């Protein structure tokens, strides 16, 4: 290998790792540079998806697991590592969709996780769900393509959870979150803006306005307080049902 940073080498000559071996997709270059700066030899790491990021994990000497549904990616990535003079002996590929592979993996404490597999709902959240217990307290998770609504909803949720914090954004696609405590998410919704503001867009258009007013009057804290004041003023006794 040369003294040129690995990300710069890959950017200058993007290898065909995906599709039929003639396509290159993956992390934005800024996120790949983040991995090159932060992954250290001997770290326990895992990613959903594989590609140039896998090459960086290998080059930095991590004990790495890459989960991908495409078995041909393993051959191409190991071949590219060989061309670059990088050992891929400490990289293990697990072939299959992440929602099937991750629950079957032997748990191990993880230092860095990259979530960049399936982006449709609910797969980013499932990747997080299966991997969050294994990430060490203080460990970091990169969540790529956060502008996509199914991924953005995961980021919104983690922003609201006391066990997680947003560390930084890398470029305009990738969010780095840090696990700061153990613990499950709340079992109930506390008004967090997960996936945007509350709305009733699933209802027919004629019913949305009525539903929004009823919610504000009978479900929101402010509305319930106003109803309680009105009831007390009328002398009526009111007991919450259920």
Per-residue pLDDT of 224-242, as tens digits, reads: 565 555 555 555 444 443 3
Flag whether 190 is in a domain: no
Do 164 and 207 fall within a single domain? no
Mean pLDDT score, 27-37 = 94
Give the pLDDT confidence score for residue 3 in this predicted structure.
Answer: 72
Do 36 and 154 fall within a single domain? yes
Q: Are 11 and 4 in contact (CB under 8 A)?
A: no
Flag whether 184 is in a domain: no
Top-confidence range, 153-167, 196-210, 214-228: 153-167
Confidence of residue 106 (pLDDT cuts 50, 70, 90): very high
Percent of the chain at pLDDT > 90 equals 67
Confidence of residue 41 (pLDDT cuts 50, 70, 90): very high
Region of 161 please: left (phi>0), alpha (psi -120 to 50) or beta.
Answer: beta
Give the pLDDT confidence score for residue 190 in this predicted structure.
Answer: 81
Q: What is the DSSP letter of 9?
A: H
Residues 116-144: tens digit of each pLDDT: 999 999 999 999 999 999 999 999 999 99
Look at 78-92, 149-163, 179-193, 196-210 and tell me which has the smallest mean pLDDT: 196-210
Q: Are 82 and 63 in contact (CB under 8 A)?
A: no
Per the model's pLDDT, the better-predicted residue between 19 and 158 turns out to be: 158
Task: Judge whether residue 205 has pLDDT over 60.
Answer: yes
**What's the chain's average pLDDT?**
88
Do 62 and 146 fall within a single domain? yes
Task: Judge whether residue 219 has pLDDT over 70.
Answer: no
Compute and round to an integer the Cα radius of gyration of the chain: 23
Mean pLDDT score, 40-54 = 97
Residue 20 CB-half CA count within 13 A: 0
Do 210 and 92 fall within a single domain? no
Provide the domain limits for residue 231.
Answer: 198-242
Do 114 and 218 fall within a single domain? no
Confidence of residue 176 (pLDDT cuts 50, 70, 90): very high
Confidence of residue 153 (pLDDT cuts 50, 70, 90): very high
Mean pLDDT score, 77-104 = 97
Flag whether 192 is in a domain: no
Confidence of residue 4 (pLDDT cuts 50, 70, 90): confident
Do 46 and 149 fall within a single domain? yes
Mean pLDDT score, 100-118 = 97
Give the pLDDT confidence score for residue 44 in this predicted structure.
Answer: 98
Rounded to the nearest 10 degrees, what angle do helices 221-234 and 205-218 cross at?
Answer: 60
Which two structure tokens, joined as six digits, stand for 90? Answer: 């400490």
Flag whether 187 is in a domain: no
Number of domains in the chain: 2
65 Cα distance to chain centroid: 16
Do 173 and 210 fall within a single domain? no
The CATH number given to whatever domain includes residue 170 is 3.40.50.150
Flag whether 193 is in a domain: no
């Amino acid at each position: 290998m040369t003294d040129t940073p690995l990300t710069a080498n890959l950017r200058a000559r993007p290898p065909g790792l995906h599709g039929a071996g003639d396509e290159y997709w993956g992390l934005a270059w800024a996120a790949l540079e983040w991995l090159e700066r932060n992954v250290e030899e001997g770290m326990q790491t895992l990613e959903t998806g594989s590609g140039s990021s896998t090459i960086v994990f290998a080059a930095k000497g991590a004990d790495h697991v890459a989960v991908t549904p495409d078995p041909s990616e393993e051959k191409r990535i190991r071949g590219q590592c060989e061309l670059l003079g990088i050992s891929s002996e400490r990289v293990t590929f697990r072939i299959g969709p992440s929602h099937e592979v991750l629950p079957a993996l032997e748990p191990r404490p993880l230092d860095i996780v990259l979530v960049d597999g399936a982006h449709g709902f609910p797969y980013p959240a499932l990747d997080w769900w299966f991997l969050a217990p294994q990430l060490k307290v203080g460990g970091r998770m990169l969540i790529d393509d956060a502008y996509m609504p199914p991924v953005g909803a995961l980021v919104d949720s983690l922003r609201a959870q006391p066990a997680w914090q947003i560390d930084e954004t890398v470029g305009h696609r990738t969010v780095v979150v840090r696990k700061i405590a153990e613990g499950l998410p709340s079992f109930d919704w506390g008004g967090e803006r997960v996936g945007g503001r509350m709305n009733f867009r699933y209802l027919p258009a004629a019913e949305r306005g009525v539903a929004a007013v009823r919610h504000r009057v009978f479900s929101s804290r402010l509305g319930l307080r106003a109803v309680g004041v009105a009831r007390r003023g009328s002398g009526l006794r009111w007991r919450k049902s259920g």
